[in-house]
Structure 1
């Protein structure tokens, strides 16, 4: 069946290789792909059977248990999944980003050149915050991209990368940076029952937490037709704490926030220190409701602080995607709203496999305007 079904596909039969780090997202993508290809067989799956092994000394191995010869392969991996563990020297050890990235390379090695094409999908880009060099320091992201290029990868696909300029490291390789903006806006507008009249009254202000996120805030501001503000983040560059310069002061620049709804937009929440400090300041200045919308929520120091801010009325909700691991305990929090990106990711894979232009999917402005009008 599969050879006949995919006989007209430019790049051959589609195959998903879903690493353990991306298991749930991969299953959902598989179901949406079956819908898009019109496959009714409940036993059919695009997911290739593989085995991932961790040895007790920390080494790993990937084995592919079925043929991938001539297939158009898509490797799905979540390098931010800190929920996976294994026994190393008898101690429970969490799998970190470096090990997740090594597993991607192990898969490519196991394929051994038999696939027609290999694409890597890393929703959260590996080492995206170590993307540029300011001193004598490592340039991890560029090195990782070079490795994938040298291993014969055809394309790399990611979401809302910390700095889109990282693609300059691999100018001859396909690199697509996908924004989840429309899906986040859709969920936000529907869940909060925000009407067209409210938007026309300009009762909302879009806030950028720092200068680095300003372009994203401008985009949200333009499509929602709302005012914009920014927080200037002053750091103490004389010292480094936990690998970064500590924040000394957040200073707001923009329109008066009194009785206004606030939407703070950024690419990710790590510890949440910046966002929560901004929430406090905005509430002190008279803001009504305060929301945060991010592509990735890491919660590197746990959700307790967010619970506290929610209970005190300083934060109303955090909107984030399912593109990276979020613990079940966080998903069940009343302030956390998860935006499902599985269908969009499946649509991208479907288009790439059939060699259909991605321009319409990459341009989200029209879709957002349609959502807002509704």
Structure 2
């Protein structure tokens, strides 16, 4: 167990989220100066002495109307380097959303492996470890970093939300493609344990090639059941809507959609059609665009207690 002081820092656009994490740790985020010059260059520095501190930089690396992915990533890199220059004992990037996690392998000749490039850049700035929430492929992300990588899952959070539903109706957890089957299975097990009754599983066939998506066959029993379609993120919502339609055609009584990262690019308006009973995401990102009709069907779960608990375990060495 470390006795070094713990410091929570955040850039301006993740300050509210960091405040939630810090509150659960009985702390307040330390202040930063963020100054943007007329030519677009920035200056970022801590306004307190971080020498000898274990610093957690809480930053969600997504793009929205306020800042691009690359703006946030560049400012984060400068902040990490500045903290190390000022003798922080350790710097941990605590990322509710880690950018480029989907680009973790080559799918075409000469493809970049951008996840590895991001890891190399952060390590060059001096990051000591990375803690990230529900990345696309945890094993690939772990392999991209040469520093310790801590992956946090949201299966328990979603299980707590849906446990009442699982007591009222037979439930099937569906992955919208085979690639997410392991993630859906971990959620299925957590929901089964929380509800104290059997929960079935299924998946929807999906093939992507050259920008086109084919397939759509549903594997699993959904007739007269409540279905929860789980994925790591919602971007345009097309994959989730496609899976929801397959479940409705299979006779599902209720269809709920759940994903950790609700990006809602383009508004993802079709998610909130009559085919879907509810959409559940977390506060890991600020949506690019608030979808129409979302107030009626959208639930946003708070992940700051999960992050705070992980920091507490790390400090305790457990």
Question: What TM-score, normalized to structure 2?
Answer: 0.90
For 1:289 and 1:189, the matched residues in 2 are separated by 15
Structure showing greater Rg: 1
- CA shift, 1:56, in A, is 3.8
Deviations 1:181-207 (A, max 9, x none): 1111101224x4x42xx46xxx21111
CA contact (8 A) 1:51 1:62 kept: yes
Deviation sequence 1:12-51 (CA, Å, 0-9, x none) = 11111111221221111111110xxxxxxxxxx4311112
Structure 1 stretches lacking a partner, 5+ long: 1-8, 35-44, 85-94, 240-244, 358-374
Structure-2 residue corresponding to 1:212: 179
Stretches of 4+ moved more than 6 A in 1?
Answer: none
CA contact (8 A) 1:231 1:250 kept: yes
Distance 1:141 1:189 in 2: 35
* C-alpha RMSD of matched pairs (Å): 2.1
Corresponding position of 2:239: 274
Distance between the aligned counterparts of 1:102 and 1:215, measured in 2? 33
| Greater RCO (Cα-Cα under 8 Å, separation 6 or more) | 1
How far is 1:156 from its partner? Answer: 0.5
Q: Does 1:176 align with 2:150?
A: yes
Distance 1:157 1:25 in 2: 15
Residues 61-84 of structure 1: per-residue CA shift (max 9 Å, x gap): 212222111111000101115142
Match of 2:305 in 1: 343
Note if 1:289 corresponds to 2:254: yes
Q: CA deviation at 1:340?
A: 0.9
> Residue 100 of structure 1 aligns with which residue?
72
Paired residues in the alignment total 308
- 2:55 is aligned to 73
Give ranges in structure 2 of 5+ residues lacking alignment: 193-197
| In 2: Cα distance, 1:183 partner to 1:168 partner | 26
Once residues 44 and 240 of structure 2 are traced to their aligned partners in structure 1, the CA distance between those partners, rounded to angstroms, is 39
With normalisation by structure 1, the TM-score equals 0.77
* Among candidates 106, 109, 114, match of residue 87 of structure 2: 114
**Counterpart pick for 2:224 among 239, 250, 259:** 259
Q: Which residue matches 2:142?
A: 167
Partner Cα separation in structure 2 for residue 327 and residue 146 of structure 1: 27
Helix, strand or coil at the partner of 1:206: strand
